[in-house]
Amino acid sequence: MRILVVEDDTRIAGQVIETLRGAGYVVEAAGAGEEAQFMGETEDYDAVILDLGLPGVDGLTILRRWRHDGRRMPVLVLTARDTWRDKVTGLRAGADDYLAKPFELEEMLARVEALIRRSSGHANPVMSCGHVELDPATNRVTLSGRPVALTALEYRTLSYLMHHVGRIISKTELTDHIYGQDFDRDSNVIEVLINRLRRKLGRGLIETRRGQGYRLAGPPAQNAAR
């Protein structure tokens, strides 16, 4: 899953980025308003963490422009402003959640997990498809209740497919969401990753749609709210 962190305070940005990468996310960063706006307009992110007090274009203006242009990625707003009026302003500008500084990194991570999960239609915090379960909070994958060891790229690939159960995901889209901009994106690697996941989790889990991409076979088992 690919996240954009927009924060001009290098100390806070470094802590947030380190926490997200440690949880298995692909993270890209911007420290100024114009740069952040451009990245949000031209790249596809699973979530954005957006500080409001940015040099150049402020965060609220960026957010309003994104929403006006139809950009639908979930946005978690970070700000030092903590009055209820500030929160209402941010939410009405298009934010999906609001976190006031100072904040606990674990809370930030939990909010990002929830935003991504809800934006892809999952109510249950543990996602499942057939006998495979994935817990984003612990990065734990199990098959029929037994833990399965995955590499970082294998986990990212499975996580993206699990968040979009039932939808065909092209190689290009999958590549964009499991690699950072600084990686040499070789689409042939995707075939290797898919084959590894099939060996570890079962040949029938991931379908290949020739000329289109991949999808998880069958409906999710436990994603609906009860």
pLDDT of amino acid 217: 77
CATH code for position 171: 1.10.10.10
Does 112 lie in the same domain as 35?
A: yes
Does 86 lie in the same domain as 51?
A: yes
The residue out of 72, 94, 119 marking a domain boundary is: 119
Does 114 lie in the same domain as 184?
A: no
219: pLDDT strictly greater than 60: no
The tokens for 168 are 């065909």
223: pLDDT strictly greater than 60: no
Band (pLDDT 50/70/90 cuts) for residue 187 is: low
pLDDT of amino acid 218: 55
Does 81 lie in the same domain as 6?
A: yes
221: pLDDT strictly greater than 50: no
Does 99 lie in the same domain as 140?
A: no
Residue 13 maps to a domain? yes
Residue 155 maps to a domain? yes
Residue 30 maps to a domain? yes
Distance from C-alpha of 141 to C-alpha of 131, rounded to nearest angstrom: 10
Q: How large is the average pLDDT for residues 202-215?
A: 90
pLDDT of amino acid 121: 81
pLDDT of amino acid 162: 93
Express as a percent the part of the chain with pLDDT over 70.
92
Band (pLDDT 50/70/90 cuts) for residue 220 is: very low
Judge contact between 197 and 206, C-beta under 8 A.
Answer: yes
Does 134 lie in the same domain as 84?
A: no
Residue 223 maps to a domain? no
In degrees, rounded to 5, the angle at the alpha carbon of residue 177 between the alpha carbons of residues 174 and 179 is: 100
Does 39 lie in the same domain as 132?
A: no
Residue 192 maps to a domain? yes
By residue range, what is the domain housing residue 189?
Answer: 127-216
Judge contact between 25 and 1, C-beta under 8 A.
Answer: yes
pLDDT digits (tens, 9 = 90+) for 76-110: 999 887 777 888 888 899 999 999 999 999 999 99
155: pLDDT strictly greater than 80: yes
Provide the CB-side half-sphere exposure for 55 (13 A, CA).
7
Of the given ranges (113-117, 180-184, 203-207), which has the lowest mean pLDDT?
180-184
Does 17 lie in the same domain as 85?
A: yes
Does 107 lie in the same domain as 29?
A: yes
CATH code for position 82: 3.40.50.2300
Does 101 lie in the same domain as 53?
A: yes
The residue out of 61, 92, 119 marking a domain boundary is: 119
pLDDT of amino acid 182: 57
Does 135 lie in the same domain as 181?
A: yes
Q: How large is the average pLDDT for residues 18-41?
A: 94
The residue out of 67, 88, 119 marking a domain boundary is: 119
Give the 3-state secondary structure of the chain: CEEEEECCCHHHHHHHHHHHHHCCCEEEEECCHHHHHHHHHHCCCCEEEEECCCCCCCHHHHHHHHHHCCCCCCEEEEECCCCHHHHHHHHHCCCCEEEECCCCHHHHHHHHHHHHHHHCCCCCCCEEECCEEEECCCCEEEECCEECCCCHHHHHHHHHHHHCCCCCECHHHHHHHHCCCCCCCCCHHHHHHHHHHHHHHCCCCEEEECCCEEEECCCCCCCCCC
224: pLDDT strictly greater than 50: no
Does 113 lie in the same domain as 176?
A: no
Residue 73 maps to a domain? yes
How many folded domains does the chain comprise?
2
Closest among 122, 150, 156, 133 to 205, alpha carbons compared: 133
Residue 222 maps to a domain? no
